């Protein structure tokens, strides 16, 4: 900044002193902005955008094999790298904790999430059910480096003042503390939560009258980016969609787009998805796949059941397309402002597709029928409540086995795209088949953006070190995985895995599995159809020892007998419903007692009046 000292003159020593002071002040003033100014977006300090989808299966993107329209995400894939062997946790909170911190979920406090944790584990080390304060978030790291940091959408990592996004490194946030909520109104998932816990600035927030979740979280993020331009700093934006979490809801026009589709059922769709994924190079051609035992037989459904199933998948496709359109709105804005080419984009899903059937018990059906219009014609519309269930979830994961909550590949392997449109550090249109993990995102973004990672200490306090590895070598021409043959363990709700090189050791509890450990070569058999434990006993024993070491180091607890995540969600929901009923009953009884007391008091007072 140039500062001119005008040529006015005061005679004598006073004049010389004044001019000297002015020159000193001018020099300091000119130097101050360069020293205090945060770094503007530049090749060294690019903007960063994380696009986190909810419950999208492995082939739920056109660029990975989907039949529904995701043109904007597909365009991002053409400018960046698709990871076809990328793994997360089997449910949302553990993945989100690892994405935020680069630390394994048990160490971050999310060995399980509030809705699925058994009472015996609650509050034990690693089972806080919230992101603990022993970890540092990517928001905190980028904020310390001079970035403006923003978050919109689902948080699900803690709802108290010390754990909301604004307390964990985000300058601005409009966030949902729950696992999900209605997509058209400020309404919770009825029976699971009392309210939709949206907050902004750490305080309860009100959604606009024309709210639709995917559109809103993008438009609010655009508002934050524009409000922060005066800071002349790069931005870090985390956009966390509710799509396609239960309840499945989409604008009518998006549902109508798929009116002629899905009438052949989920088995046919699973086969079609597998064929497209192989043609795209996402999975090996001819890779075998299994039919999940928990997937219903389409042929056994009656006409009404099929009509409802077809409609819910049409709504699911519409919900994905509506989300993609919101992503396109963000891209268009960033192109108009000149930010697009110097922005690093990361697209991923938090886990595989959701198989839970919320109508699997009569009490659930009875309760939900009192709260929503459950008619087939209303599926996907406002005041609807629907889920795709295990049939369509198996197709969304095709050609993989399993889905959300399981440790099978369909629960853990999801689409990942990393793109930097204006920078050749990220290869355009390539597919990387090497193993990658969600904890790798933090060190990858830090390296690309030139942001320093903490080294196990933060603001004078010891914290959990970042455990992931930078994927930058895999964004270029390097083949293979940055993890090499090193083991990486995983556990959630008793379902467990150990990855090492091309191999995976896995155990799934009922109803998805039988509790036995199996060994698979994922490079040849991503569908986990062949158990190699007997053919490779030494590797099997070695990897089992690796898993036990992981479990001990991370404080993994055994599940109580008979546990299943789906049953635990039902118990949680029933407890919430019971608690809500007790509160309503208490209010009704209290109100009735007050009314009776008031009437008795008035009657007695009237009787005491003197007769004139």
Q: What does the pLDDT read at residue 556?
A: 98
Share of the chain above pLDDT 70, in %: 89
Maximum Cα–Cα distance across the chain:
106
Q: What does the pLDDT read at residue 10?
A: 39
Q: What does the pLDDT read at residue 20?
A: 41
Retrieve residue 534's tokens: 């007997």
Q: What does the pLDDT read at residue 477?
A: 77
Taking alpha carbons only, the member of 445, 91, 58, 49 closest to residue 224 is: 49
d(CA 318, CA 69): 9
Retrieve residue 469's tokens: 């590895």
Taking alpha carbons only, the member of 400, 318, 315, 305 closest to residue 353 is: 400
Taking residue 552's Cβ as centre, other Cβ atoms within 10 Å add up to 9
Assess whether 18 carries a catalytic annotation.
no
pLDDT along the chain (612 residues), means of 10: 34 44 37 43 85 98 98 98 98 98 98 93 96 98 98 97 97 97 97 95 97 98 97 97 98 98 97 97 93 85 97 98 98 98 98 93 91 98 97 97 96 98 92 98 98 94 98 89 98 97 96 94 97 98 98 96 84 65 52 73 68 50
Contacts of 286 (CB under 8 A, 6+ apart): 278
Q: How many residues does the chain have?
A: 612
Q: For residue 341, what is the DSSP state?
A: G
Q: Are 64 and 171 in contact (CB under 8 A)?
A: no
Among the options 156, 171, 245, 483, which is catalytic? 156
Retrieve residue 601's tokens: 């008091």
SS3 annotation, 231-262: HCCCEEEEEECCCCCCCCCCCHHHHHCCCCCC
Taking residue 555's Cβ as centre, other Cβ atoms within 10 Å add up to 13
Q: What does the pLDDT read at residue 438?
A: 99
Q: Are 412 and 438 in contact (CB under 8 A)?
A: no
Q: How far is CA 135 from the centre of its chain?
A: 18
Taking alpha carbons only, the member of 413, 452, 575, 586 closest to residue 136 is: 452
CA distances (Å), origin 523, targets 87, 282, 435, 439, 458: 14, 11, 10, 21, 39
Q: What does the pLDDT read at residue 512?
A: 85
């Amino acid at each position: 900044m140039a500062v001119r000292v005008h040529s006015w003159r005061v005679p004598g020593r006073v004049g010389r002193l004044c001019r000297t002071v002015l020159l000193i002040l001018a020099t300091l003033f000119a130097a101050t902005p360069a020293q205090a100014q945060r770094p503007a977006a530049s090749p060294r300090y690019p903007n960063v955008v994380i696009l986190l989808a909810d419950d999208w299966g492995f082939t739920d993107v056109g660029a990975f094999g989907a039949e529904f329209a995701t043109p904007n995400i597909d365009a991002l894939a053409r400018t960046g790298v698709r990871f076809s062997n990328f793994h997360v946790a089997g449910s949302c909170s553990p993945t989100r904790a690892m994405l935020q911190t680069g630390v394994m979920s048990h160490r971050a406090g999310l060995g399980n999430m509030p809705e699925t944790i058994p009472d015996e584990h609650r509050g034990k080390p690693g089972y806080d059910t919230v992101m603990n304060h022993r970890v540092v978030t990517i928001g905190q790291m980028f904020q310390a480096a001079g970035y403006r940091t923003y978050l919109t959408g689902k948080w699900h990592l803690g709802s108290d003042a010390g754990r909301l996004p604004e307390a964990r490194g985000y300058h601005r946030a409009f966030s949902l503390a729950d696992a999900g909520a209605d997509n058209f109104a400020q309404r919770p998932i009825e029976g699971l939560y009392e309210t939709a816990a949206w907050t902004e600035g750490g305080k309860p927030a009100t959604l606009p009258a024309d709210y639709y979740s995917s559109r809103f979280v993008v438009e609010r993020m655009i508002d934050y980016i524009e409000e922060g331009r005066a800071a002349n700093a790069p931005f870090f934006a985390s956009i966390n969609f509710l799509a396609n979490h239960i309840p499945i809801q989409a604008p009518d026009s998006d549902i109508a787009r798929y009116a002629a589709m899905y009438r052949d059922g989920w088995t046919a769709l699973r086969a079609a998805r597998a064929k497209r994924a192989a043609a795209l190079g996402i999975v090996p051609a001819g890779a075998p796949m299994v039919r999940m035992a928990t997937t219903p037989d389409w042929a056994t459904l009656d006409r009404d059941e099929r009509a409802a199933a077809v409609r819910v998948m049409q709504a699911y496709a519409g919900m994905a397309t509506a989300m993609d359109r919101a992503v396109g709105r963000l891209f268009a804005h960033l192109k108009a402002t000149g930010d697009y080419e110097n922005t690093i984009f990361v697209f991923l899903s938090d886990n595989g597709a959701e198989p839970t059937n919320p109508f699997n018990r009569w009490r659930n059906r009875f309760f939900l029928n009192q709260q929503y219009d459950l008619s087939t014609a209303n599926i996907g519309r406002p005041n609807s409540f629907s889920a795709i269930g295990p049939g369509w979830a198996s197709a969304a994961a095709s050609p993989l086995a399993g889905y959300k909550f399981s440790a099978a590949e369909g629960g853990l392997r999801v689409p990942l795209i990393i793109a930097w449109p204006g920078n050749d550090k990220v290869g355009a249109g390539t597919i990387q088949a090497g193993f990658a993990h969600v904890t790798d995102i933090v060190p990858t973004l830090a390296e690309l953006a030139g942001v320093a990672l903490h080294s196990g200490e933060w603001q004078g306090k010891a914290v959990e070190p970042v455990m992931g590895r930078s994927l930058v070598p895999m964004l270029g021409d390097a083949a293979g995985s940055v993890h090499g043959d090193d083991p990486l363990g995983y556990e959630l709700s008793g379902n467990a895995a150990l990855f090492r090189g091309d191999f995976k050791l896995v155990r799934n509890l009922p109803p998805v599995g039988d509790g036995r450990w199996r060994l698979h070569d994922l490079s040849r058999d991503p569908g986990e159809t062949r158990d190699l434990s007997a053919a490779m006993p030494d590797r099997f024993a070695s990897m089992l020892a690796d898993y036990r070491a992981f479990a001990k180091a991370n404080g993994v607890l055994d599940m109580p007998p008979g546990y299943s995540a789906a049953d635990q969600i039902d118990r949680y929901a029933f407890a919430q419903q019971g608690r809500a009923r007790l509160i309503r009953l208490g209010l009704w009884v209290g109100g009735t007692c007050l009314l009776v007391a008031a009437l008795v008091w008035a009657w007695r007072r009237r009787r005491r009046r003197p007769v004139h």
